[in-house]
Amino acid sequence: MLEARNISVRYGPCDVLREVSLSLSEGRMVALLGPNGAGKTTLLKALNGTLPAAEGSVVLDGRPLAELSRREAARRVAVVAQENETKFPVTVVDFVLSGRFAHGGAFGWERAEDVAVAERALAECDLEKYGSRLMNQLSGGERQRVVLARALATEAKILLLDEPTANLDLAHQAMIFRLVRGRCDAEGFAAVVITHDLNLAAEFADELILLHRGGLFAAGTAEEVLSEANIAEVFGVRSLRDANPATGKVRITPIF
């Protein structure tokens, strides 16, 4: 569905991302790992065209992303970015409905169908009762869920999530990962998730990509990527690896 071929991204003279490749196919969930400044967010921005690739190309459903109109791209790729703020009082339901932009006509009043999609997205993110609240009155965690709900409301099959669980409590962290996983399994979605929680990545993702200093350090399954050696090299942290007794998935415990 979405493929990055050897892309490099530059801010001025410095490479922020160097020859990174990534391939995302239907039903797959990819976790993007790495320390701060490794280039995770940059890669995500390159994947939806926010940042142009200096070299290499991003291909969406067989066509170079650069050739698609913003509207076409937005119908296929949805982004959950980190925090955003507005000085204007926008209600939660209006915010989520704004995700329907790429489906609307010129004067763009929502149809009943748009409202239904938005309501479902709100419900899935545990936000049924929040519709009339104002965005700037919500807590950070609540706002993050609203942003996810808006991404779901776009009905784009490719989700790019930038630390979607950063401000969330344990229950909602798991809820969001389960939600995305469920969409991938049942509805043919594909997702790239940036996270700092290695265990959540190991638990839910099909593939893990470890970025280090703007380059691809390791990619593969949790067993392949999350070795104690890799973690020590990339994060500079000693760790212990075993298996989660409940699920049998890789479990990393940092040693302090």
Partner 1 sequence: MKRANYIFLLLIAGLAAAVAVAVSVGSESVSVFAPDEQGRAILFDIRIPRVLLGACVGASLALAGASLQALLRNPLAEPYLLGVSNGAALGTLIAFVLLGDVAGARPVLAFAGAGIATFAVYQMARSKAGMNVERLVLAGVIITTFLSSIIVLLTSLLDAARLRGYTFWLLGDLSQATYNGFYMTLAAAVAGTIVLTSQARALNLMMIGERDAFDHGVEIGRVRMIIFGMASVLVGTSVAASGSVGYVGLIVPHIVRLVVGSDNRLVVPMSAFAGAIFVVLADTVARTAIAPRELPVGAITALIGAPLFIFLLRRS
Residue 81 sits in the site that holds partner 1 (CB under 8 A): yes
Residues in the chain: 256
- The residue among 67, 72, 59, 52 whose CA lies nearest residue 22 is 59
Residue 23 sits in the site that holds partner 1 (CB under 8 A): no
Residue 244 C-beta: closest distance to partner 1, Å: 34
Residue 101 sits in the site that holds partner 1 (CB under 8 A): yes
Residue 94 sits in the site that holds partner 1 (CB under 8 A): yes
The residue type of 178 is R
Contact 102, 74 (CB under 8 A): yes
**Position among 23, 98, 199, 227 found at the interface with partner 1 (CB under 8 A):** 98
**Position among 13, 14, 36, 106 found at the interface with partner 1 (CB under 8 A):** 106
The residue type of 10 is R
Q: For residues 132-171, which are near partner 1 according to CB under 8 A?
A: 154
Task: Decide whether 146 or 176 has the Cβ nearer to partner 1.
Answer: 146
Residue 104 sits in the site that holds partner 1 (CB under 8 A): yes
Task: Decide whether 11 or 254 has the Cβ nearer to partner 1.
Answer: 11
**Position among 54, 90, 138, 166 found at the interface with partner 1 (CB under 8 A):** 90
- How far is 186 from 159, CA to CA, in rounded Å? 15
**Position among 64, 89, 182, 188 found at the interface with partner 1 (CB under 8 A):** 89
- How far is 195 from 132, CA to CA, in rounded Å? 30
**Position among 5, 28, 75, 213 found at the interface with partner 1 (CB under 8 A):** 75
> CA-CA distances (angstroms) from residue 166 to 50, 123, 133, 172?
22, 21, 22, 10
Residue 71 sits in the site that holds partner 1 (CB under 8 A): yes
- Considering only CA atoms, give the Rg of the chain: 18
| Residues sharing a CB contact under 8 Å with residue 49, sequence separation 6 or more, in sequence order | 58, 65, 66, 68, 70, 73
Residues that bind partner 1 (CB under 8 A): 11-12, 48-50, 69-75, 77-79, 81, 84-91, 94-95, 98-99, 101-102, 104, 106-109, 154
